[in-house]
A and B are shown apart, each in its own frame.
Chain A
């Protein structure tokens, strides 16, 4: 088999594993969230289907898949369906540039547990993050519903504001690491023996806000806002088409952005060797799900901002902060001689 064929095969296997894992984890995160929410709210959460309600996501999936498809009158049908794809695809594509661990040798080949180790990894992340908004906008537009439309517009305003902040917040880390490659950033942290969160605490907090805003979690879930907009942009979707939106936005996106936060600020897979070769994966996943847990915890505790406040905070407070952070980082780096 030619070199190219083997490389292609390896990539395909990685993609298969990752998509399977991502969707599975996404589905099971619903269970985790409901269980967690249950315990936060002094109730039990799902406990009927399977032991500890473990089969609940399957039951939900079957229910959603077998539902009748209802498309509202006056809907723009191609765009209506395109929105579903556009919501899911970027969320999964985000995982392409996430390094889960260090490279290892298998049958004499070096394999990196990352699908696309490109030197512009972070740029890709921004690109995918921005693409996500198309799913929302399309669904809001195509549904022919005012609630959905207002919800999607809100989301668009939030994404525009927070993409800018996100970019500037992450630039500090990029300056420190000297690379846009995700693997490079993790290796830079391991090399120095320190996580960037200690060098860039402001950037991390800004990133956290952006993460909440992009994944539409409380306190930034204005596009859903059950009370005002029913559930916002996906109110006219039914069955699995409906299921895809929360899956992509609330779960896949949250996991992906948490993983990226781990890469940027928490040293990726670095950590004491406790499980032999699996240790890096363990650390990576532990950190990621620690962050996911934090997001869920916030979701079930805080009230919601209103749309005006969210964009105001982004443009008036967070963007200047991010800029100052960037300038200070750059100056300090220059003074210390680009260590």
Chain B
């Protein structure tokens, strides 16, 4: 039986929030928005979909800013045999998250423009057109927070670099290529039967027999549970 058969729908038709938003799309063409909506399929409610659509239809960073972000993230985490920040769609994440968590937008933008200002003054060029050596020379000044201070007391560009590093790292390591590189083994159906023996040995640990006796015998996991009257499992 379809469980929805029992649903008592008194009214039909839903509120057209989605339709309303389509009318005020700015910055991004509707085909691109539709493609983004189709790409991310993660069990959203209607209002969550409407919110995502709204974010996809707005643009936070200019094309030049995105180019600059891509360049910076590539220095923070250079490509290797597993992949790159571009494969990991780190710039796309930064674009999205700056709209989703608006407190990011202004510090990131200010940092980008300050970066260009510094390089214009010093080398009469935009950051992106300078050499790697020149770029790293500046990053060396801002990439290491003073360990004596809280983040809130760091220099603005140090704080900005921390944001860029954090978003680069989280963007990379939550992507397909980054998860593969890290070697995370879960999120697949499996049967947990304890810490591998070689790992226990490495830490001089062992399971106590008394404890293990209480634990599931995984060969019997599909046998339907039956208890005696005192709650002792007999299957």
The answer to whether A and B come from one shared complex is: no
- Interface residues, chain A, with chain B CB atoms under 8 Å away: none
- Interface residues, chain B, with chain A CB atoms under 8 Å away: none
